[in-house]
Chain A
Amino acid sequence: GQNIDQPTEMTATEGAIVQINCTYQTSGFNGLFWYQQHAGEAPTFLSYNVLDGLEEKGRFSSFLSRSKGYSYLLLKELQMKDSASYLCAVRRTDSWGKFQFGAGTQVVVTP
Chain B
Amino acid sequence: EAQVTQNPRYLITVTGKKLTVTCSQNMNHEYMSWYRQDPGLGLRQIYYSMNVEVTDKGDVPEGYKVSRKEKRNFPLILESPSPNQTSLYFCASSTRDFPSPLHFGNGTRLTVT
Contacts and interface: CB of A to CB of B under 8 A. Distances in A.
Contact of B104 (A43, A50, A102, A104): A43
Interface stretch (A13-21, A66-74, A93-101): A93-101
Contact of B50 (A89, A96, A100): A96
Interface in B68-83: none
A42 B101 contact: no
Nearest to A49: B99
Contacts of A103: 40-42
A95 B56 contact: yes
B45 A100 contact: yes
Nearest to B106: A42
Interface residues of A, number: 23
A100 B59 contact: yes
A44 interface: yes
B19 interface: no
A87 B44 CA distance: 12
B56 A97 contact: yes
Given A87-B42, A87-B43, A100-B45, A48 B99 contact: yes
Interface of B: 31, 33, 35, 40-45, 48-50, 56, 58-59, 90, 96, 99, 101-107
- In the A-B complex, the 7 residue pairs with the smallest Cβ-Cβ separation, listed nearest first, are A45-B101, A103-B42, A42-B104, A101-B43, A97-B48, A48-B99, A101-B42
18 contacts: A33-B101, A33-B102, A41-B107, A42-B105, A43-B43, A45-B101, A45-B102, A87-B42, A97-B48, A97-B49, A97-B50, A98-B45, A98-B58, A98-B59, A99-B102, A101-B35, A101-B42, A104-B42
